[in-house]
Amino acid sequence: MTGLPDRLVEFVTALREHGVPVGPSETVDAAAALRVVGLADRDQLRESLAATLLRRSGERAVFDGVFELYFPAAVGVRQTALDPPPGDDLDAWRDLLVAALAEGRDERLRALAASGVDMLGRFGSGAGGGPMAGWSAYQTLDRLRPESLLARVLAAMRDRAGTEDPLAEEVDRGEAARRVARFRDLVQQEARRRTAELRGRERVSRYGVAPSTDLVGFTTAGRAQLAEMRRTIQPLARKLATRLAARRRRARRGQIDLRRTMRRSLATSGVPVRPAFRRRRQGRPDLVLLCDMSGSVAGFAQFTLLLVQALRDQFSRVRVFAFVGVTDEITHLVEAGEDDPEGLASRIFREATLTWWGTNSDYGNALATFAERWLDAVGPRTSVLILGDGRTNGGDPNLRALRRIADRARHVYWLNPEAEPLWHTGDSAARAYAEVVTMYECRNIRQLSQVITRLLPA
């Protein structure tokens, strides 16, 4: 058992590895807070550390994950675990789970998760033995299958309420789904904690704790993570818009326009009472987006689409094109899709012609169709953003078409959701494209928002 200061420093180091910037002064504050609050109450301990170490709201999930590992609630099997556990009978387990989910009390779910991981999640040669042993959240959840219990949970909730109310049922449905998600979280937390006892905290925290939403890679994000990302769009757009507006305001202060000042001063017998400033042209840019909607990068393209849509006040005009094999305009679909961001992708595929055959992206053909049919959408005031990984699936990259677009536009930027070291690997033509237009790596929300602020002219 290491001393408290060491533990605190290890904890802070783990947070930093997850992209939470914690400085030494915060660590000192945290230590001071620990002295004041003490270790008796774990909730208070957690909140004290959060108050002193965190500076941003989005970091809380990471913090909680790491906290569970470094300041675990228990060692070994929890005291609060079920007594006695139902053994290997999976049906008994499911009955218990249905009851707990219908009731919705957190302690009960936590106890079930603890025993579940202990009994059902163990793999390898049990506790303490073998390099391959441990506790698996995946195995636990795979055997319990909480999602398949939703109908039963709903029925149990209805029984508890004792009424048949269609409105209550809709509310119940959402609540049950949230509780199942909560249970999954608890199981994962518990499995991480148990595994950490075996393998060491540093290792588990590095691989086991999910990174904060703005650091999740677009191409590797799961469904839940994409939904989580969508929730950040509105706040992010608001933040970017404020920043851009502030920049625009500052840029309005111009230099003295000597000619107009002189002219004005004639009215006051040559004394320049009212100086005239050189007016800067307020350039709200036109924006044209060209998005690869093929499977591999669709998540990235959709996110960026929605973000740009949320930022549309910042542009005089936004036009959006999508492609897989051929290009089609989808501006109207994106505008109409504001109320229903989840359904956007399916609507695009239903209503626009993106491919003649196959679902592989064909950059050569897509650029060619855009250059043929919509080149007039690009003018000298237009910024073109191309979203995609530049993987041509072996086809002709068609640099000529890209050059034609670049020649007409004010800027062409390419946002690539792949890591830069991968750009020239396999069938990627990203390097070749990067020679024609500027290409930015946009792997996660943080990079994307940096790039967008940098690109948008004030």
Site of interaction with another protein (CB under 8 A) = 23, 25-26, 29, 32-33, 36-37, 41, 43-44, 47-48, 50-52, 54-57, 60, 165-168, 170-171, 174-175, 178, 230-231, 234-235, 238-239, 242-243, 246, 338-342
Which two structure tokens, joined as six digits, stand for 194? 């148990």
> In this structure, which amino acid lies at residue 130?
G
Nearer to another protein, 140 or 444 (CB): 444
* Interacting residues of 73 by C-beta distance below 8 A, sequence separation 6+: 42, 193
Q: From CA 348, how far away is CA 350, in angstroms rounded?
A: 5
Instruction: Please tell me the number of Cα atoms within 13 Å of 64 on its side-chain side.
Output: 11
Q: How far is the CB of 210 from another protein (least distance, A)?
A: 18
Q: How far is the CB of 73 from another protein (least distance, A)?
A: 15
Buried b (16+ CB within 10 A) or exposed e, 347-372: ebbeebebbeeeebbbbbbbbbbbbe
Nearer to another protein, 178 or 381 (CB): 178
Q: How far is the CB of 65 from another protein (least distance, A)?
A: 16
Q: From CA 303, how far away is CA 314, in angstroms rounded?
A: 17
Q: How far is the CB of 333 from another protein (least distance, A)?
A: 17
Which two structure tokens, joined as six digits, stand for 111? 């106890």
Q: How far is the CB of 162 from another protein (least distance, A)?
A: 11
Nearer to another protein, 51 or 258 (CB): 51
Q: If we measure between CA atoms, which residue out of 182, 213, 307, 440 comes closest to residue 221?
A: 213
Buried b (16+ CB within 10 A) or exposed e, 317-332: ebbbbbbbbbbbbbbe
Nearer to another protein, 89 or 339 (CB): 339
Nearer to another protein, 12 or 196 (CB): 12
Q: How far is the CB of 340 from another protein (least distance, A)?
A: 8
Nearer to another protein, 59 or 197 (CB): 59
Asked if residues 285 and 383 have their Cβ atoms less than 8 Å apart, the reply is yes
